[in-house]
Structure 1
């Protein structure tokens, strides 16, 4: 199961690479779209932060999703974001043979304070993948509002979305 999850994540990260290859820096950094005025770069950075929290907390069994680095270079520099994605993909592949027969402590703020719950490595990785897809959908909205038409099949759609409803961005 872990191999399938990691393969799925890497497929979604490859979709991000395809997007980054298709847009320019001005588009990547554009913050003109309401109501949140966030850039494509900020959404890419945010999804990478989530994965980084997992990687950084795994060895100590203390993943804290509230301790994101928020590295602005990833928000503003396409090449840096792509390099980070490639490194992340290599790290994820290295987890294929890791023993995951234990519970991992994951901390997040649910809106009323921090809470720590138990996950498996597979469940937190699946959560991170769904989280990335959610942000990809927002990126699709931003591109639509900027009147930029790109085709990255399935980008921003949950895999359970019927195929005839998926258009990609």
Structure 2
């Protein structure tokens, strides 16, 4: 199961690379659209932060999703984001044969304070993948409102969305 989850994540990360290679830096950094005034770059950075929290917390068995680095370089520099994705993919592949038969403590803020719950590596990675798809959907809205057409089949759609409803962005 872990191999399938990591393969799915890497597929989604490859879609991010394809997106970044197909848009210009101005589009990547454009934060002019309300109501949140976030850029494509800020959503990419945010999803990478989520994965970084997982990687950084695994050894100590203390993943803190509120301890994101928020490296603004990833929000503004497409090449840095692409390289970060490649490094992340390499790290994820190294987990395929790692024993993960234990519970991992994951801390997040649910809106009323921090809470720590138990996950498996597979469950936190699956959660991170769904979180990424959610942000890709937001990126699709940003691109649409900026009048940019990029075709990446399935980008921003949950895999359970019927194929006839998926058009990519």
The answer to whether TM tops 0.5 is yes
Task: Provide the rounded CA distance (Å) in 1 between the counterparts of 2:116 and 2:21.
Answer: 38
Matches within 5 A, 1:21-36: 21-36=21-36
Query: Paired residue for 1:126?
Result: 126
The superposition leaves residues 9-66 of structure 1 with CA deviations (integer Å, 9 ceiling, x where unpaired) of: 0000000000000001000000011110000000000000000000000000000000
Query: Paired residue for 2:44?
Result: 44
TM-score, normalisation: structure 1: 1.00
Matched, 1:146 2:146: yes
Matches within 5 A, 1:10-159: 10-159=10-159
1:7 shift after superposition: 0.1
Task: Provide the rounded CA distance (Å) in 1 between the counterparts of 2:122 and 2:91.
Answer: 14
Task: Provide the rounded CA distance (Å) in 1 between the counterparts of 2:33 and 2:86.
Answer: 28
Q: SS of the residue aligned with 1:97?
A: coil
Runs of 5+ consecutive residues of structure 2 not aligned to the other structure = none
Q: SS of the residue aligned with 2:95?
A: helix
The superposition leaves residues 88-115 of structure 1 with CA deviations (integer Å, 9 ceiling, x where unpaired) of: 0000000001100000000000000000
Runs of 5+ consecutive residues of structure 1 not aligned to the other structure = none
CA RMSD across the alignment: 0.3
Q: SS of the residue aligned with 2:105?
A: strand
The ranges of structure 1 where at least 4 consecutive aligned residues each deviate by more than 6 angstroms after the TM superposition are none
Task: Provide the rounded CA distance (Å) in 2 between the counterparts of 1:14 and 1:33.
Answer: 26
- Aligned residue pair count: 169
